[in-house]
Chains A and B, each alone.
Chain A
C-alpha cells in the first residue's frame, strides 16, 4: 500500500499535495492567517471609530503621514475586512480545512473522489487570496466599495475593484471545484454500511453546504464577469442612463440596472451566510454529542431541517433589498420565506439544546466553545427576525444593528465553533492535545471580548447609527447619546485580540510539545477516530477499510443487557 507513494519528492508531498489531509491542513493554516489579517484591519478601523482622527499606535506611520487612518483607507479596510473574513477566512477554514480533513475520514473513504481537482481547488483559492492581498500594494489601493461591491459606485470607483473581481473569480472557481469534489465523495465513497442516516451530522452539513456553493456561486460569477466588463470594456450593464458623477453626466452608453447586480449578488450571498453557519453547526453537533455522552437528540429531524433549510436559502435573498423600492407583493413574499426559513434553524438549535439535557457533560475546551456557540447563534438568529420583516427593516437597514446581528452569527457564532473544531480535531491531525489551561484562558477571553464588541452595536444601531461611517457617528446629532460605546467596543476588540495570543502560542507549541494521545482521545464514535493518530500523509487513511455497523452517536446505549459507554461506528458487537 505504501510503496506506491515512496518516490514522492518534497514538492509533491507538501506543496502540490493531492492528499485530502494535507490539503485540509493547507487550507486551514492559510485561512487562519487570513482571519488574522481580517481582524487586524478591523482593529485599525475600530481605533479610528473610538478616537476619530487620532494617530493609530505602532503601525500609524504605515497608513499616512499623520499616522491616522485616512477616509479612503477606512473604506478599503472595511470592504476588505468583509471580503477577507468571509471568502478567505471562514469559508476556507470551515469547508476547505475541516471539510477536507474530516469528511473523507468520517465516511471511511481513502481520499476525496478527485484528488487532483482538490489540489487545484486549494491553489485557485491561494491565487485568489494573493490577488486580494496584492491589491493593497497596488498604486490605486484595495477595493473600497464595501464587500457587496454595489454599482454604480463600484464601477466608477478608481480603487482596486478590478483586482477584487479577478480575485473573486479565482475564489469562486476554487469553491466550485471543492463543491463538486465534496458532493461526489459523499455520494460515491461512503464505506460499506455507511448509509445516509448513519452519516455524522458534520458530513451532512458539508454535503448541503457544497450544494449551496455549487448552485449559488455561478450567478455571482456571471455578475462578476459583467462588472469586469463594465470596468474594463466600458459597458453599462450596471450603469443607468444619465448618471451624474461629480456634476457631470457620465460618458457611457447607459441603459443598465444597478438592481441587477444586487439580485445576482444576493442570490449567492444569502446562501453564503448558510455556508458560513452550517459547517459550524456540524462541528458543534459532533462536539456536543461527544461531550454529553448521549446520542444527538432528534438526529433525523435535524437532517431533514438541514435539507429544507438548504433549499429555502435560495428563495429569501431579496430580504437584503427591501429598501430598493420593492413593491409590497414581493416584499411580502420574501418576508414570508424569511420567516419560514427560521423554522428549520430553530429546530436544529433546539435539538442541540435538548441534547444537553440529562447528559453528564464533560467541560472540555472544545465543549466550552461549542456550548457558547448555542446562545450566541441564538442571539444572532433572533435579532435577524426584525430584519426579515420589511417594515422593521426600513428602520434598521444599514445601521450598526445589522452589523451586530450578522456578527453574532459569524463571529461569536461561527468563529467559536471553528475554535471548538480546532481544539477537538487537533489531536487527530497532530497526534497531540492542545494545552487545557491556555485553552480555557483563550475561551473566556474570547467569549467576553466578542460580546463586548458586538452587543453595544445593537444599542447604537437601534439609535440609528449608520454602518460604514468613518467617524463612527461623531458628526450626527442622533448618535450622540450612544457615542460613548465606541471606546468600549474598541477596547473590547483590543482585548479580544490579546486573548488570541494564548491560542497562537498554544497552537504552535502543541504541535511539537503537546501531550501525546491515543487514536481516540475523546472516546468518540465516528470513523475519523478509527484512523491512526496523525494519519500519515499520502499513505491512505485506514490500515484496513472500515465497515460501519451503527448509527453515528451510540453513547451509553444498552447492549446485551449492559450499558456501553460508547460504541464506535465500526465496532463489531457480539449479539448474544
Chain B
C-alpha cells in the first residue's frame, strides 16, 4: 500500500508527466504541419502517440510499478492484438488474382 509521503513524491512526477504530454501533443501537431509525406508522417505520429500513451499508462495508471500478474495479462493481450492487426492485414494483402473494381468505384465519394 502507498503511504502519504510516497504519494507526495508521486505528485511531482505527475506534473512532469503532464508537461511531457502537453509537449507531445504540440509536437505531433507541429510535425503534421510539415507534411513529411504519408509514410513518414504516420510513423512519426505513431511514435509520439506511443510515447504519450506510455506516459499515461506508466505513471497515471502506475504500470511502471505494477504486479507481475497484470503484466502477464497485458502481455497476452498485446500479443493477441498484434496477431489480430497484422495477420488480418497480411491475409487481406495476400489475395489470389486481381480484384475487379467497377468503373463507378472511383467516383463514389460525394
- Which residues of A are interface residues toward B (Cβ below 8 A)? 187, 211, 215, 219, 241-242, 249, 253-255, 257, 259-260, 263-264, 267, 314-315, 318, 321, 325-330, 333
Contacts and interface: CB of A to CB of B under 8 A. Distances in A.
Given A215-B77, A241-B102, A314-B83, A325 B95 contact: yes
B33 interface: no
17 contacts: A187-B69, A211-B76, A215-B76, A241-B101, A241-B104, A241-B105, A242-B104, A249-B102, A253-B110, A259-B92, A260-B92, A263-B92, A264-B88, A325-B95, A325-B96, A325-B97, A326-B96
A407 to B, nearest CB: 27
Name the interface size band of chain B.
20 to 34
Nearest to B91: A330
B99 to A, nearest CB: 8
B1 to A, nearest CB: 17
A327 B88 CA distance: 13
Interface in B50-64: none
Contacts of B103: 242
A134 B48 CA distance: 48
Contact of A242 (B83, B84, B88, B102): B102
B94 A330 contact: yes
A265 B108 CA distance: 27
A242 B99 CA distance: 13
Contact of B91 (A254, A264, A314, A326): A326
A219 B81 CA distance: 10
B31 interface: no
B94 A326 contact: yes
B101 to A, nearest CB: 7
Contacts of A260: 88, 92
B80 interface: yes
Given A215-B76, A267-B84, A314-B83, A327 B104 contact: no
A314 B94 contact: no
Give the one of B77, B88, B110 with max A CB within 10 A: B88
- 5 smallest A-B Cβ distances: which pairs? A242-B102, A327-B94, A241-B105, A330-B94, A254-B108
Given A219-B84, A314-B80, A315-B87, A326 B95 contact: yes
B109 interface: yes
A236 to B, nearest CB: 9
Contacts of B95: 325-327
A296 to B, nearest CB: 26
A253 B87 CA distance: 27
A215 B80 contact: yes
B84 A253 contact: no
Nearest to A321: B91
B108 A257 contact: no
A318 B84 contact: no
A302 to B, nearest CB: 21
A18 B48 CA distance: 45
Contacts of A257: 92
Nearest to A254: B108
A330 B84 contact: no
Interface string B62-76: 000000010000001
B43 interface: no
A187 B96 CA distance: 46
Contact of B104 (A187, A249, A263): A249
